[in-house]
Amino acid sequence: MKPLTLLALILPGAYVVLEWTLALSGFPHDMGFNPVQWTHHFLGETALRILLVSLAITPLRDITGWAPIILIRRRIGLAAFFYALAHLLAYVWLDLDWSMPKLWEDILQRTYITLGMGAVAGLIPLAITSTNGMIRRMGRQAWQRLHYLVYPIAILAVAHHFFAEKGIQMGPLIHGAILAFLLAWRLVKFIRLRIAAAQPA
């Protein structure tokens, strides 16, 4: 299951590399007339969707009762980080030409950039602590507590997508609805556990 997951997670990245290789060598490609923007959208949406998939693992386990599925959760989350990082680097490279003052100005002035940067920044500690060694060193509970950060990060990511689009568009709303469902699932579970715990045995 693990190698298959890895393969699935690498595919979107391989697709971007293939499209650019085709385009730069003069072959027909799928990126349309604005390959840079296509790349931004593709990497960003891939990062966000993979992040949503990682958040769907726990509900899936609860529904199916299939515990081993949890083993692929960490690498899915890590893939979301790498796509988000690629999305950010593509922006800094292709749009800002590596200008740090421009990036700083964007972060301060533009809401959707601020939100997106917040999401990537939040993913960094989660990515760093994603190894077995780190889990052991931090202790399961502390690690778990740190990784609750993924909830606000996901909200930032959806908000970033919403504010990046012109007008009210469907894509961000669909992602928002999926995220709301995944978070509501956890909230309901949490409340039920509390009620169960409060009742005398």
Partner 1 sequence: MKFRRNPDYQDLRSEMTPEDLFWNRRKLMAASGAIGAGLAFAGTAHGDPAPNGPKAGAQPAPGTALKSKKTAWTISDSLASEEAVVGYCNFYEFGTDKSDPARYADKMTVSPWSIEVSGETGAAGKYAVEDLVDYGKLEERVYRHRCVEAWSMVVPWVGVPLSSIISKLKPGPKAKFVQFETYLNPSEMRGVRYPVIDWPYVEGLRIDEAMNELAFVAVGVYGKALPKQNGAPLRTVVPWKYGFKGTKSIVKIRFVEKMPDTAWNKANAHEYGFYSNVNPNVDHPRWSQASERVIGGKKFNERRKTEIFNGYEKQVASLYSGMDLTKNF
Smallest separation, CB 168 to partner 1 (Å): 6
**For the chain, the helix, strand and coil percentages under 3-state DSSP, each to the nearest 5:** 85, 0, 15
The one among 68, 100, 108, 109 contacting partner 1 by CB under 8 A: 109
Smallest separation, CB 160 to partner 1 (Å): 11
The one among 1, 4, 166, 201 contacting partner 1 by CB under 8 A: 166
Smallest separation, CB 170 to partner 1 (Å): 6
Select 32 or 200, whichever has its Cβ closest to partner 1: 32
Rounded Cα distance between 24 and 142, Å, is: 47
Segment interacting with partner 1, rule: CB under 8 A, options 7-15, 64-72, 141-149, 163-171: 163-171
Interaction of residue 21 with partner 1, rule CB under 8 A = no
Taking CA atoms, 178 is separated from 38, 47, 48, 52, 120, in Å, by 23, 15, 11, 8, 20
Interaction of residue 112 with partner 1, rule CB under 8 A = yes
Rounded Cα distance between 35 and 31, Å, is: 5
**Residue 116, both tokens:** 């997106």
Select 23 or 117, whichever has its Cβ closest to partner 1: 23
The one among 143, 162, 163, 185 contacting partner 1 by CB under 8 A: 163
Rounded Cα distance between 161 and 48, Å, is: 9
Smallest separation, CB 149 to partner 1 (Å): 26
70-94 residues labelled b (16+ CB within 10 A) or e (exposed): eebbbebbbbbbbbbbbbbebbbee
The one among 6, 78, 94, 103 contacting partner 1 by CB under 8 A: 94
The one among 1, 63, 108, 170 contacting partner 1 by CB under 8 A: 170
The one among 100, 167, 197, 201 contacting partner 1 by CB under 8 A: 167
Interaction of residue 200 with partner 1, rule CB under 8 A = no
On the CB side of 34, CA atoms within 13 Å amount to: 6
Rounded Cα distance between 132 and 191, Å, is: 30
How many other β-carbons are positioned within 10 Å of the β-carbon of residue 56?
17
Query: Which residues are at the interface with partner 1 (CB under 8 A)?
Result: 23-24, 32-37, 94, 102, 106, 109-112, 163-170
